[in-house]
Amino acid sequence: MSEEHLIIEKRNAVAIVTLNRPEVRNAMNEELVEDLHQTFVELDRDEEVRVVVLAGAGKAFCAGADLNAMQRAGQASHEQNLASAQTFARMLSTLDRLSKPTVARVHGPAYAGGAGLVAACDIAIGSQDAEFALTEVRL
């Protein structure tokens, strides 16, 4: 990982994976999606980890796709967009199929792909300010 946009902490048998892009409400770009996938693969193999908690830094759990990434997608070819969608689907599938329980710790917005992250977890715990939306329907 080239920047600290993903924080992984291990506390006893619990791994806490925190999306750390609070300046963009933890919106996901291509690099974050790939790093999440790799992190989930590694945590699945880690015999010391018994539970994975997914959280977001700042005021949002995850606002979905990064707007800059969406602009790039508008300029990309069909094949490039298909590959990007497959990478995102692979990451969600890896999270969904993790061999240990997964918990989404949600506060603030969990929009679009952020709601997808929550749906791929086994358990979701939301604070009173948690908001869920599938905002793609507006596009």
Our answer to whether residue 3 is catalytic in this structure is: no
Distance CA 4, CA 74 (A): 27
Cα-Cα-Cα-Cα dihedral sign, residues 98, 101, 106, 109: positive
Active-site residue, selected from the candidate residues 3, 9, 42, 136? 136
Q: Please answer whether residues 85 and 105 qualify as being in contact, where contact means their C-beta atoms are separated by less than 8 angstroms.
A: no
What residues are labeled active site?
A: 136
